[in-house]
Amino acid sequence: MFNLQERRKYKRLEKLLLGRFRVKQYEGQKMSVRGWYSVAVENLSAEGMLFNYNNNLEIDSFLDLEVYTPTSIPNIKCAGKLIRIEESQPLLTRDGPPLKSMFSIATKFTVIDEQKKEIINTTVKEILRKETEKRRFILEKMEKTTNSMTRRVAMAEASKKTPQPWE
| pLDDT tens track for 104-157 | 899 999 988 888 888 888 888 888 888 888 888 888 888 888 888 888 888 888
Q: What is the C-alpha to C-alpha distance for residues 46 and 86, in angstroms, rounded to an integer?
A: 21
Q: Which residues pair with 80 in a beta bridge?
A: 63, 109
Look at the pTM and tell me if it is higher than 0.75: no
Q: How does residue 65 score in pLDDT terms, banded at 50, 70 and 90?
A: very high
Q: Work out the pLDDT band at 29, boundaries 50, 70, 90.
A: low
Q: What is the pLDDT of residue 135?
A: 81
Q: How far is CA 21 from the centre of its chain?
A: 17
Share of the chain above pLDDT 90, in %: 14
Measured CA to CA, the distance from residue 66 to residue 22 in angstroms comes to 9
- Within 13 Å of residue 89, how many CA atoms lie on the same side as its CB? 3
CATH classification of 4-123 is 1.20.120.1750, yes or no? no
